């Protein structure tokens, strides 16, 4: 743990079945002239969720930006910023999975800044001003983006994570009933993203007493509920617990940042189209074993908290969950060939994430570890 620590997760959270009914009241606090609604995929329109929200917000003009696929690109942000400025939208509402919420957060912020998205992604130009208010409504249970200061954007075939306090939503409305229509595959992969985030937050060098508590509780909730929601999608108590676990994972990484598992996941998503949570779960068991060999016994302590006797029992528990969710666990199964591992190392080894890992990881050790699951 670092010598001193802070805790700053200022997003107001409204949680519970039916809580989306609080949206109009929540918007009224900000009183915008016009709202930009950013939604991920057409499926939400088909399910009637967008129509219902527009109806609830009939007191306000609403401009809709929808149809964005997985992982927003820098061009999507630029188009959204232009639209928000042209329409003079005073509030951005993001509804969908992590990609839609990341896009909404970035549009809301950059529409009030002179820096372009590409300048911000280059890291050479900072975000100077607070943007328009952001309300986030997740419809998946995985990224926790509704409470974080991060937004992942793809630019020139690289997935880059913006990190700025102005990206934090003002309000997050978490209504488990909105997650009940998630397809099984999305339930599984987003749930594993939350699991990776909680475990990485726990072992991160930046961990704090508060993030430890939240991360361990999130891991417990995921082991108790992910398979249940996968097998019984309409069962609302399981959905509610998974949405809570996802929220916990977002709060935890908001404090600690992620580590090597997340950084290696990025090239898997960009070059091999592996969904984010699956990309994380591919290397998660590997790094639990690797990190536990030099972590002051913290991972064993976490395993014990979860009722496991040894770290190896904990790893087997993760591997069994991945198997029961019918997901692959080797790189070859997602289209990565042995000769592609160089690319994963080149783009997946990021010094900021590696230095937050409890055990030293070099590019060479990363290559060896990836080869062991090829």
CA distance 55 to 170: 22
User: What are the residues facing 16 on neighbouring strands?
Assistant: none
| Binding span for Fe ion by CB under 5 A among 2-10, 27-35, 188-196, 284-292 | 188-196
How much helix, strand and coil, in percent to the nearest 5, is found in the chain?
55, 10, 35
Q: Three-state SS for 296? A: coil
Per DSSP, helices labelled H in 257-362 are: 260-272, 276-292, 298-305, 311-324, 341-348, 351-354
Of the pair 102, 193, the CB lying nearest Fe ion is at 193
**Smallest distance from Fe ion to CB 326, Å:** 21
Q: Three-state SS for 103? A: helix
Of the pair 193, 340, the CB lying nearest Fe ion is at 193
Of the pair 77, 253, the CB lying nearest Fe ion is at 253
CA distance 97 to 100: 6
CA distance 163 to 125: 12
Using an 8 Å Cβ cutoff, are 37 and 53 in contact? yes
* CA nearest neighbour of 38 among 78, 96, 85: 96
**Smallest distance from Fe ion to CB 196, Å:** 6
**Smallest distance from Fe ion to CB 16, Å:** 24
Show the 3-state SS of 79-102: HHHHHHHHCCCCEEEEEECHHHHH
Of the pair 62, 100, the CB lying nearest Fe ion is at 100
Of the pair 41, 262, the CB lying nearest Fe ion is at 262
Told to check if 146 binds Fe ion by CB under 5 A, we report no
Of the pair 76, 200, the CB lying nearest Fe ion is at 200
Q: Three-state SS for 11? A: coil
Of the pair 97, 238, the CB lying nearest Fe ion is at 97
**Smallest distance from Fe ion to CB 101, Å:** 12
| Binding span for Fe ion by CB under 5 A among 112-120, 125-133, 193-201, 204-212 | 193-201
**Smallest distance from Fe ion to CB 347, Å:** 16
**Which residue lies nearest Fe ion, judged by its C-beta?**
193
Write the interaction track for Fe ion spanning residues 147-186; mark x where CB under 5 A is met and - where it is not.
----------------------------------------
| Binding span for Fe ion by CB under 5 A among 86-94, 154-162, 190-198, 233-241 | 190-198
**CA distances in angstroms from 158 to 102, 165, 229, 279, 342, listed in the order given:** 16, 22, 32, 15, 15
* CA nearest neighbour of 262 among 166, 192, 325: 192
Task: Count residues near Fe ion (CB under 5 A).
Answer: 1
**Smallest distance from Fe ion to CB 369, Å:** 19
Of the pair 36, 244, the CB lying nearest Fe ion is at 244
**Smallest distance from Fe ion to CB 276, Å:** 6
| Binding span for Fe ion by CB under 5 A among 88-96, 116-124, 191-199, 302-310 | 191-199
Window 315-354: residues binding Fe ion (CB under 5 A): none
Using an 8 Å Cβ cutoff, are 243 and 176 in contact? yes
Using an 8 Å Cβ cutoff, are 22 and 56 in contact? no
**CA distances in angstroms from 212 to 11, 112, 197, 216, 323, listed in the order given:** 19, 35, 12, 6, 27
| Binding span for Fe ion by CB under 5 A among 17-25, 163-171, 189-197, 352-360 | 189-197
Residue choice 193, 200, 212, 340 for contact with Fe ion (CB under 5 A): 193
**Smallest distance from Fe ion to CB 258, Å:** 7
**Smallest distance from Fe ion to CB 142, Å:** 7
**Smallest distance from Fe ion to CB 18, Å:** 27
Beta carbons within 10 angstroms of residue 211's beta carbon? 25
- Interface residues with Fe ion (CB under 5 A) are 193
């Amino acid at each position: 743990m670092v010598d001193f620590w802070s805790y700053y997760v200022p997003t107001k959270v409204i949680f519970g079945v039916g809580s989306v009914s609080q949206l109009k009241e929540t918007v009224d606090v900000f009183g915008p002239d016009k709202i930009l609604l950013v939604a991920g995929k057409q499926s939400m329109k088909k399910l009637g969720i967008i129509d219902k929200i527009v109806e609830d917000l009939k007191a306000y003009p609403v401009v809709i930006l929808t149809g964005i696929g997985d992982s927003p690109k820098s061009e999507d942000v630029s188009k959204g910023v232009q639209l928000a400025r042209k329409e003079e939208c005073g509030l951005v509402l993001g509804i969908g999975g992590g990609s839609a919420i990341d896009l909404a957060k970035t549009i809301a912020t950059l529409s009030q800044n002179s820096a372009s998205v590409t300048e911000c992604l280059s890291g050479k130009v900072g975000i100077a001003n607070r943007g328009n208010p952001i309300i986030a409504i997740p419809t998946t249970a995985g990224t926790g983006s509704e409470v974080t200061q991060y937004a992942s954007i793809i630019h020139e075939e690289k997935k880059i994570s913006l990190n700025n306090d102005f990206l934090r939503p003002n309000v997050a409305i978490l209504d488990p009933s909105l997650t009940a229509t998630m397809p099984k595959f999305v339930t599984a992969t987003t749930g594993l993203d939350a699991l990776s985030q909680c475990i990485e937050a726990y072992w991160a060098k930046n961990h704090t007493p508060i993030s430890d508590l939240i991360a361990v509780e999130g891991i417990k909730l995921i082991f108790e509920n992910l398979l249940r929601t996968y097998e019984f999608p309409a069962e609302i108590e399981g959905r509610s617990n998974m949405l809570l676990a996802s929220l916990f994972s977002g709060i935890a990484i908001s404090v600690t940042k992620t580590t090597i598992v997340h950084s290696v996941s990025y090239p898997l998503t960009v070059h091999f189209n592996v969904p984010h949570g699956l990309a994380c779960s591919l290397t998660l068991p590997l790094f639990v074993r690797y990190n536990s060999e030099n972590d002051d016994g913290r991972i064993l302590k976490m395993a014990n908290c979860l009722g496991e006797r040894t770290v190896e029992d904990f790893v087997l528990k993760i591997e069994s969950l991945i198997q029961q969710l019918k997901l692959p666990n080797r790189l070859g199964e997602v289209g990565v060939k042995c000769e592609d591992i160089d690319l994963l190392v080149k783009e997946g080894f990021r010094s900021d994430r590696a230095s937050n890992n409890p055990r030293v990881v070099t590019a060479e050790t990363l290559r060896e570890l990836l080869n062991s699951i090829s």
